[in-house]
Structure 1
Amino acid sequence: MNTMTQGLQAMLAAGKDNALLRVTLGKAALDADQPADAIPHLQRAVEQDPHYSVAWKLLGKAQLAQGQTDAARAAWTEGLRCAEAKGDAQVVKELGVFLRRLDKAGTP
């Protein structure tokens, strides 16, 4: 665990829990190739802010890395809905690509 992640964990331990902190911790875990550690943080982020499209995007990535294809599809579908509602064109584009890749791979 690097110094930044330790500082974020300390903030969490101090009760400063919020969606942005959880997304940052989840992304750090993904960047460290630890998707299993990322999932609980990202799940908590979308519980705290169900309209946080980037949190849904990262949650789907972590779930796919863990072989949870159906969960990833569900997360990306919800993230796409949120991003479209907010007009977040970049996330809409990314999630569309991710979902098409799942379709091409023949996953349900």
Structure 2
Amino acid sequence: MNDPLARHRKLVEQFPDNELARFSLGKALFDQNQFTEAKGHFELAASRKPEWMMAHILLGKCELALSNRSAARVAFEHARRLAIEQNHEGPLTEMNQALAELAQTPAE
């Protein structure tokens, strides 16, 4: 099975409670700009593993792509706190930049 989306859907079908399978399917969907569906998988992964920084970052990016600015801000702020706690400089810089851009861009 070469299609990553089909492969990840099958894994979620087999292991619906597995947060890694959900995250992986969310990422495959995200990479294909299917933000609404991806968002649900990132929400589930983040709720099961609240310390999973990347799930929060990608959830925020989905929210932003769907024009849910306040939800994006919440996800990015959570990811920023995790980046600080986990000493991840790159994601911290990315979240600081994303939050600054949200603060400067007027809501639509």
* Same-fold call, TM cutoff 0.5: yes
Residue 11 of structure 1 contacts residue 17 of structure 1 at CA under 8 Å; is this kept in 2? Answer: no
Cα displacement string for residues 10-46 of structure 1 (whole angstroms, at most 9, x for unaligned residues)? 1111126433322221121111111111110000010
- The question of 1:19 aligning with 2:39 is answered no
Once the two structures are superposed, residues 43-83 of structure 1 have per-residue CA deviations (whole angstroms, 9 ceiling, x without a partner) of: 00101110111110100000111111000000000011111
Instruction: Give the Cα separation in 1 of the matches to 2:71 and 2:106.
Output: 15
Tell me, yes or no, if the aligned pair for 1:83 and 1:89 is still in contact at 8 Å: yes
Partner of 1:62: 62
Q: Does 1:92 align with 2:92?
A: yes
> Which letter maps to 1:83?
A
CA distance in 2, matches of 1:11, 1:30: 17
Q: Aligned with 2:41: secondary structure?
A: helix
Aligned residues: 106
TM-score w.r.t. the length of structure 2 is: 0.90
> What stretches of structure 1 move > 3 A for 4+ residues in a row?
none
Distance across 2 between alignment mates of 1:82 and 1:56: 9
Instruction: For structure 2, list consecutive stretches of 5 or more residues without a partner in the other structure.
Output: none
Q: Mean alpha-carbon deviation: is it higher for 74-83 or for 22-31?
A: 22-31
CA RMSD of aligned residues (A): 1.4
Q: What runs of 5+ residues in structure 1 fail to find an aligned partner? A: none
Which one-letter code corresponds to 1:94 in the other structure? E
Within the alignment, does 1:72 sit opposite 2:68 as a pair? Answer: no
Cα distance in 1, alignment partners of residues 68 and 33 from structure 2: 16
